[in-house]
Amino acid sequence: MFSSDAENISSAEAGPFTGLLGDASGCGPLVPPLSDEARPLRLQIFERIRAAGRTPRVQLARDLSISPATVTAVTSELIEAGLVEEVSDKREMETARGRPAVALGVRGAAGHVAGIKLSDRQHMAVIVDFAGNLLADEAVSREPGAMSSEALAQATQRLLGRVCKKAGLDPRELSSVGVGVPGFVNSALGIAHWSPILTHREAPLQSLLSKSLGLPVVIDNDANLVTLAELWFGAGRSLSDFAVVTIEHGLGMGLVLNHRLYRGSRGVGLELGHTKVQLDGALCRCGQRGCLEAYVADYALVREATTALNWSSRELQSVNSLLESLYDQAKAGNMAAQSIFQRAGRYLALGLANVVNLFDPELIILSGERMRFDYLYAGQHIAEMTAQSLTANRPAPKIAVHAWGDLLWAHGAAALALSVVTQNRFGVVQAQLAE
């Protein structure tokens, strides 16, 4: 079994980003100084202020190696535009005497965005302000199964209305809405090529949602949004390169290279769950065979249990109920139940070893509700990942386990919307967009 004191594994099971949202710790990637010279100076200064939460002008000058006069001129423009405001710097006030120290912070009221995660069991939404502070969240359960694009748009509209009401906002006051769905999604084109929650392929989901909501909408694969959540609010803020592997109803992956989310030339890269681990193997929900997801995802575990434990009479039970029962039996010592998780864990180790060999990330975050099932990442499986990874006279990447719920995914969608709105306000064209 997994040992919580294993050297290269850390675990977190609290609510999403406890202690980060709504305080002065800031949000967004903590990009090192001088690493972003190609971006407009006004944008660099603004994003550094937002990432720090609050920062004095002199620190901005040091970080960017520019003159204090330049910082003063640019920040005066940002203040006049209503994007930045002067705030008391409590950290300096604790040590200084006399005149109160002044820092700069992002003006939260400068804009609001929504982040929405759509899935086949629950839809989740959050509202955050321009500084990244959480204002409201809402969740709606639904019956499993695929929906038409039109029905999904209607469900999204209802959810947005509910979460906006909680936040005390009219939906028309939002600057943008970020939406995450599982499957193959081209964010740049706004197309869901395939998603298990949609009844048809090649859905122009972004334009449909934008028309339904009457707002600018940006969409992305939900695993990318978990990665954005970690990059903007979580463990990846200060890391240059890290990977997030999500295990929920399917198996997804997001990758950050040089503080930027990597999507691939067609916007559908990093589909770890659909890399092939067995020729002519188990049937995946994408329609192909031998995908890694078909051995690790929840429906794969239930499929194995139906055969190994003779569960055919329980087919009317929900997947979640069956998984809980399977896990309880494994914990109680049922060898057949344990072998199902162990087999899935070995396949997961194989997939993670491939990630290490391809990208050599500093950290791999295992995320999603299914990470409660610690058989999947038991110590022997992590050791197997290490054994199958190339050696380079240095330790293998660290593994962190974040068993967050759907609120995490919605925060990633909000980060996506916030990023796009920020780029637009500073006149950066979409092709240059970098989270």
* Catalytic site positions: 222
Given a contact cutoff of 8 angstroms between Cβ atoms, the answer to whether 50 and 131 are in contact is yes
Q: Counting every residue, how long is the chain?
A: 435
Given a contact cutoff of 8 angstroms between Cβ atoms, the answer to whether 2 and 378 are in contact is yes
Cβ neighbours for 273, distance < 8 A, ≥ 6 positions apart = 250, 251, 252, 253, 284, 291, 292, 293, 296, 297
Angle separating helix axes 335-359 and 319-331, nearest 10 degrees? 100
Q: Could you tell me the sign of the dihedral formed by the alpha carbons of 387, 392, 395, 397, in that order?
A: negative
For the record, the structure tokens of 258 come out as: 């040089």
For the record, the structure tokens of 369 come out as: 């509700």
Neighbours of 153 (CB within 10 A): 19
| Most distant pair of Cα atoms in the chain: their distance | 76
- By the 10 Å C-beta count (0-12 exposed, 13-18 middle, 19+ buried), 80 is classed as exposed
- By the 10 Å C-beta count (0-12 exposed, 13-18 middle, 19+ buried), 112 is classed as buried
At 275 the three-state DSSP class reads: coil
Distance CA 227, CA 52 (A): 20
Neighbours of 96 (CB within 10 A): 11
- By the 10 Å C-beta count (0-12 exposed, 13-18 middle, 19+ buried), 419 is classed as buried
